[in-house]
Amino acid sequence: MPLTLRTVACLSDNYAYLIHDPATGATAVVDVPEIAPIEAALTAEGWTLTDILITHHHHDHIGGVDGLRAKTGAKVTGASADAHRLPALDRAVAEGDTITVGGETGHVLDVSGHTMGHIALHFPDSRLVFTADSLMALGCGRLFEGDAPTMWASLSKLAALPPDTLVCSGHEYTAANARFAVTIEPDNAALRTRADTVATARARGEATVPSMLSEELATNPFLRASLPEVKAVLGMPGATDAEAFAEIRHRKDRF
Ligand code: ZN
Ligand code: FE
């Protein structure tokens, strides 16, 4: 039986995610921006938290970890590469390691770029990937610590997952990302349609995450940097994929 997913809005524009294995009752939260909305969601579902999974060290993703651990006794898992700047870890993991939530196995991917040591968690049987500030809906995280080739390699790993994977990312940035994306590919019909859908959803106060990987592949300019038509509109027909990605990221930073 696949994991049950709940999206939990936190702080001003963050998302945490609850995943629950109905067979065993095991329940994990991916990132803890703050405690109260996560506790409320657990109570509403009648779930007992067993695991806290951390994607990266930024405060808006870990600010509530120690408090939630103290209240629930949940075990905390995060990247070994980030152990020096994360709350105390019960388990430190790296790419290639697996984690379990009840009967479901998740695979750890290193998706460094936004930060070095940022991990994503892929649950293939449930078709879920938790990407936080690496791959985002119509965007990607800013390059605070990694360079463009590093982030491009990270995004390429995520792009290679099955297209029917649900991308569970860390922020509600999609409307602004859409306004930028159409400046890169004004003639991408799928992008135009998605930008309208996103604007309508936000006008209603609805979340625009999670999103389907197939939709990101069709519309997210940061995943499309390798395409000849995208390099052409950038005026960089001979560029490497990472160079084209770097140019799109640079334009977004100035947008
Ligand atoms: Zn971050
Ligand atoms: Fe963040």
- Read off the CATH number of the domain in which 154 is found: 3.60.15.10
If pLDDT is split at 50, 70 and 90, which confidence band does 219 have? very high
Angstrom distance (rounded) from CA 161 to CA 158: 6
Catalytically active residues are 56, 58, 60-61, 114, 133, 171
Find the mean pLDDT for residues 93-107.
Answer: 97
Q: How far is the CA of 132 from the centre of ligand 2 (A)?
A: 7
If pLDDT is split at 50, 70 and 90, which confidence band does 1 have? confident
The closest of 74, 166, 80 to 118, measured between CA atoms, is 80
Ion ligand 1 — residues with CB < 5 Å: 58, 133
From the CA of 11, the nearest ligand is 2
Angstrom distance (rounded) from CA 250 to CA 126: 35
Domain enclosing residue 185, as ranges = 4-254
HEC states along 112-129?
A: CCCCCCCEEEEEHHHCEE
Q: How far is the CA of 238 from the centre of ligand 2 (A)?
A: 33
From the CA of 10, the nearest ligand is 2
Q: What is the pLDDT of residue 44?
A: 98
Distances (CA, A) of 11 to 31, 35, 220: 12, 10, 25
Q: How far is the CA of 209 from the centre of ligand 1 (A)?
A: 16
The C-alpha R_g of the chain, in whole angstroms, comes to: 18
Q: Say whether pLDDT at 165 is over 90.
A: yes
Find the mean pLDDT for residues 91-108.
Answer: 98
pLDDT digits (tens, 9 = 90+) for 58-82: 999 999 999 999 999 999 999 999 9
The closest of 164, 170, 210, 186 to 5, measured between CA atoms, is 210
Q: How far is the CA of 60 from the centre of ligand 1 (A)?
A: 7
Angstrom distance (rounded) from CA 65 to CA 18: 14
What does pLDDT average to over the chain? 98
Find the mean pLDDT for residues 45-57.
Answer: 98
Residue 49 pairs with which residues in a beta bridge?
none
pLDDT digits (tens, 9 = 90+) for 117-140: 999 999 999 999 999 999 999 999
Counting the structural domains of the chain, the total is 1
